[in-house]
Amino acid sequence: MDCLTLKKSNCKNCYKCIRHCPVKAIRFSGNQAYINSADCILCGQCFVVCPQDAKQIVDETEKVRVLLQSGAPVIASVAPSFAANYGGVGIGAMREGLKKLGFFDAEETAIGATIVKREYERLVDEGSHDNIITSCCHSVNLLIQKYYPAALPYLAHVLSPMQAHCQDIKRRYPAAKTVFIGPCVAKKDEAQRNDEFVDAVLTFDELSDWLKASNVELAQDMDEDENSRARLFPTTGGILKTMELNNPNYTYMAIDGTENCIAALKDIIGGKVHNCFIEMSACAGSCIGGPVMEKFHRSPVRDFASISRFAGKKDFEVDQPDILMLQKNFGKLDVTTKKPSDEEINAILRRMGKTKPADELNCGSCGYATCRDKAIAVYNGKAEIEMCLPYLKDKAESFSDTITRNSPNALIVLNEKLEVQQINGAALKLVNLRNPSDILGDQVVRILDTSDFAEVLNRGRDIHNKRVYLAEYGRYVEETVVFDRDYHVLLCIMRDVTQEENDRETKERISHQTIEVADRVVDKQMRIVQEIASLLGETAAETKIALTKLKESIADE
């Protein structure tokens, strides 16, 4: 089961997770992020930094509910960082709250921490190890197993406090089921890899949601226990503060933060560090800076003070198990990343438009430190060519410039002060300018009337396909003026329609001439008709008179 998952619909292709992933265990495909579980060290940084909450920690609440219904006693092992996450709540109040949820009992993981630190003290007193790296942090263990296996001989082969405590619980309660509760994502993976110790893992926010849904409030009641020094474990240097550092041949140090751990491991492998006992934690501030706490609760000074006040001066009273019971073997774990050849890297760089070293800007916008690292990620299917911001910018500008340069229409871009920001060749030709520098940065009023631009800015209504006569240039244009409110620029597109206008005027002139000729022909024809009608009228009158007289003559006879 993958402990971290992705909500695809929430991923906005911002690359923030890959920029913060210390081992680049995230791949991108189809503009979506995917977590490579084989490469991941479960530090939880992608969960912390994701602005869209696209990363999800797998919730095991239902799994715990099933355990509670099984009839077996379920005992919680509560990480000592709970005192920082739940301010003012002691282990007694936590125990009462968990019992209301159905738990049989709850104990502090700090009990297991006491067992572990005593084993560390034995290793230090033994003095047979060159360097000793603590194995409490599962993310550090995975970092070494996957990426720095040469440092495995220095990793203390000791159970983590979670495992040691749950092992102790099952020794005392053979039928019990154990549930670890803490601020760490990696503990879910550690429990799965060693399921004989821990049956389920809840994060603090999973517990908080469960308490809220069950209307259970944790009482504000802190415990006073002098025998609780191991409660310091979740702070930077907390392990060292609980130990009796009796061997002067060792240098004791605490390192937190994955980047710092990586730097230390490189020095150890390189033979630059000797006779050191090193407390390593992947989270800055150690466990109180865990990803769940950091996501919802991050307050390093207040959290450290809470833990410091809660911790006692002496150790918990525990039965130390046999050395063999505490041993844990760490082996090398394979990752999916493969090393391409220089030729393959260079081929990918050329696809990104990087043909020479000067083109490799190493800007880090893609999430990788160098362009070559990005090319290796592309080779391994973890990244896409388009993740390179300079490449996309150059590609977009090249495409835009090609369209602008070859457009037959005049294009002018203005800012809100009506200053020319961009002008193409067709526009230069239209306004009789030779070079863009002749007008760039100057007021557009130098070359064009500004009334339409001012109208678009003031009224907020764009102008489309308005026919305008540019008297100073003797040109007719079809003008479109659009205001981009996001980028606060005016785009003016002018299509030269002078020839169309001349053709229209010519057609109108011919049409007028034709009408005039037709009118003259009609007038002439009408005159002829009238003359013919007049002649016909006179002839008809004379004929009528003659016939009347003839009629009268015949009648007289």
Strands 26-29 and 32-35, sheet pairing: antiparallel
Q: Which of 11-25, 355-369, 444-458, 498-512 has the highest mean pLDDT?
A: 444-458
Q: Are 180 and 77 in contact (CB under 8 A)?
A: yes
Quote the pLDDT of residue 330. Answer: 95
Provide the percentage of residues in the chain whose pLDDT is more than 70. 93
Does residue 231 surpass a pLDDT of 80?
A: yes
d(CA 443, CA 401): 23
Give residue 397's pLDDT band: very low, low, confident or very high (50, 70, 90). low
Residue 532 banded pLDDT, cuts 50, 70, 90: confident
Q: What is the mean pLDDT of the chain?
A: 89
Q: Is the pLDDT of residue 68 over 90?
A: yes
The pLDDT, as a whole number, for residue 350 is 87
Q: Give the model's pLDDT for residue 128.
A: 92
Over residues 497-523, the mean pLDDT reads: 85
pTM above threshold 0.75: no
Check whether 396 has a pLDDT greater than 80.
Answer: no
**Whether 310 contacts 227, CB under 8 Å:** no
DSSP assignment, residue 359?
Answer: G
pLDDT in tens, 177-228: 999 999 999 999 999 998 789 999 999 999 999 999 999 999 999 988 999 9
Strands 420-423 and 410-415 come out as antiparallel
Domains and CATH numbers, the chain: 1-58 (3.30.70.20), 59-315 (no CATH), 338-405 (1.10.15), 407-500 (3.30.450.20)
Q: Is 75 helix (H, G, I), strand (E, B) or coil?
A: strand
pLDDT number for residue 534: 75
Give the C-alpha distances (Å, rounded to integers) separating 137 from 130, 216, 356, 375. Answer: 20, 31, 43, 31
Percent helix, strand, coil in the chain, to 5, is 50, 15, 35
Residue ranges in 270-420 assigned as alpha helix (H): 291-296, 300-310, 323-326, 342-351, 371-379, 389-406
Buried b (16+ CB within 10 A) or exposed e, 454-474: eebeeeeeebeeeebebeeee
Cβ neighbours for 90, distance < 8 A, ≥ 6 positions apart? 83, 221, 222, 223, 310
- The answer on pLDDT for 483 being more than 90 is yes
Check pLDDT > 90 for residue 140.
yes
Q: Is the pLDDT confidence value at 541 over 70? A: no
Give the model's pLDDT for residue 400: 67
pLDDT at 426 (0 to 100): 93
pLDDT of residue 511: 81
Supply the pLDDT for residue 553.
66
Report whether pLDDT(115) > 70: yes
Is residue 430 scored above 70 in pLDDT?
Answer: yes
CA angle 11, 182, 67 (to 5 degrees): 95
Beta strands at 276-281 and 131-133: parallel, antiparallel or unpaired: parallel
Taking only the tens place, the pLDDT of each residue in 169-191 is: 999 999 999 999 999 999 999 99
**SS3 of 189, please?**
helix
Q: Write the single-letter amino acid at 463.
A: I
Q: How confident is the model at residue 402 (pLDDT cuts 50, 70, 90)?
A: confident
Least confident residue range of 142-146, 320-324, 347-351, 385-389 = 385-389
pLDDT for 100 equals: 97
Closest CA to 436 of 410, 403, 397: 410
Q: Is the confidence at residue 6, as pLDDT, over 80?
A: no
- H or E element at residue 255: strand 251-256
Per-residue pLDDT, 392 = 65
For residue 556, the model assigns a pLDDT of 61
pLDDT band at 557 (very low <50, low <70, confident <90, very high): low
Give CA 478 to chain center in angstroms: 43
pLDDT at 30: 72
CB 68 within 8 A of CB 102: yes
Task: Answer yes or no: is pLDDT of 1 > 70.
Answer: no
Contact 349, 372 (CB under 8 A): yes
Query: Across residues 477-502, what is the average pLDDT?
Result: 92
